[in-house]
Amino acid sequence: MNDAGYWSIFLNAALINNFVLAYFLGICPFFGVSSKIETAIRMSGAVSFVMLVASACAFGINLVLEAINAPYLRIISYILVISSTVQLVEMLMRKLSPPTFRALGIFLPLITTNCAILGLALFQTNKGYGFTQAIVYALGAGAGFALALVLMAGVREKLDLADVPQLVKGTAAALVVAGILSMGFMGFAGLGR
């Protein structure tokens, strides 16, 4: 059982070891959805919710796997649970908030292949977090993901209006911005002490 404190776990996941900028998880949506702040916020919300559910489920599944001593089923069971959760979120969203559902479009099913969610589940298992710690970790990861996405979207919106050479336009520029953001986030290291 990991003895890290809740605040330290949250800070770690959100800032110090930001999932996108330090661990390189969730890069596909990071570059795909981050051109407009609005879509970025909506995507982050959906991802955060899926992260919460996935973390809780991963905790439960891991208990079962350890009881029956079948660690080799971990990857396959985690990813199946994540896909089902995403289906669930899709259905709920269609019922409860059709405009958001339409706005997110293709990105919703793509959350399944978002490495950040599977990565969250696997990291949390590796670190041996208890249930509340896992929830806090998921909250922190979601917050960090949202922060990175929104920051990126903000910069890219401005960049679209600037005079950027043709060769650099698009993803290359986004990559450089991401690199600089990542360096900025390095300044948070040592914060959790």
Partner 1 sequence: MNAPDPLQQKKTSTWEMYRAIVGIGAFCALLIVSVYQGTAARIADNKARFLNNAIAGVLPAVRSTVEVSLDKNGALVAAAEPANLPAFLGYGEDGELVGAVITAQAMGYADNVTVLYSYSFDLQAIVGFMVLETKETPGLGDKVETEPHFLANFEALDTRLNEDGTALANGIVTVKQGEKTEPWQVDGITGATITSEAVGVILNKGSSYWLPAFERDARSFEPPQSSEE
Partner 2 sequence: MALKQVSPTDEFIKGLWRDNPVFIHMLGLCPALAVSNTAINALAMGAATTFVLLMAGLSVSLLRSFIPREARIVSYICIIATFVTCVDYAIMAISIELHRALGAFIALIVVNCLILGRSEAFASKNNPGRAILDGLGMGVGFTGALFFIGVMREVLGSGTLFGVELFPDGFQTWTVMVLPSGGFFAMAIWLLVVNWIRQRQADAEKQAAEQAGETAS
- 176 touches partner 2 by CB under 8 A: yes
Segment lying near partner 1 (by CB under 8 A), choices 12-20, 90-98, 99-107, 163-171 = 12-20
Residues 34-53, one symbol each (x = binds partner 2 by CB under 8 A, - = not), give --------------------
- 124 touches partner 1 by CB under 8 A: no
- 119 touches partner 2 by CB under 8 A: yes
- Concatenating the DSSP letter of every residue in the chain gives -----HHHHHHIIIIIT-TTTTT--SHHHHHHSTTSHHHHHHHHHHHHHHHHHHHHHHHHHHHHHHHTT-GGGHHHHHHHHHHHHHHHHHHHHHHH-HHHHHHHTTHHHHGGG-HHHHHHHHHHHHHT--HHHHHHHHHHHHHHHHHHHHHHHHHHHHHHHS---TTTTTHHHHHHHHHHHHHHHHTTTTTT-
- 192 touches partner 1 by CB under 8 A: yes
- Whether 144 and 15 have beta carbons less than 8 Å apart is answered as yes
Question: Rounded CA gap, 31 and 170, in Å?
Answer: 10
**In the set 10, 59, 101, 123, which binds partner 2 (CB under 8 A)?**
123
Residues 67-106, one symbol each (x = binds partner 1 by CB under 8 A, - = not), give -----xx--x------------------------------
Segment lying near partner 1 (by CB under 8 A), choices 9-17, 25-33, 41-49, 53-61 = 9-17
Which residues form the interface with partner 1 (CB under 8 A)?
A: 4, 8, 12, 16-17, 72-73, 76, 128, 189-190, 192-193
- Positions touching partner 2 (CB under 8 A) are 21-28, 31, 72-76, 79-80, 83, 110, 112-115, 117-119, 122-123, 126, 167-168, 171-172, 175-176, 178-180, 182-183, 186
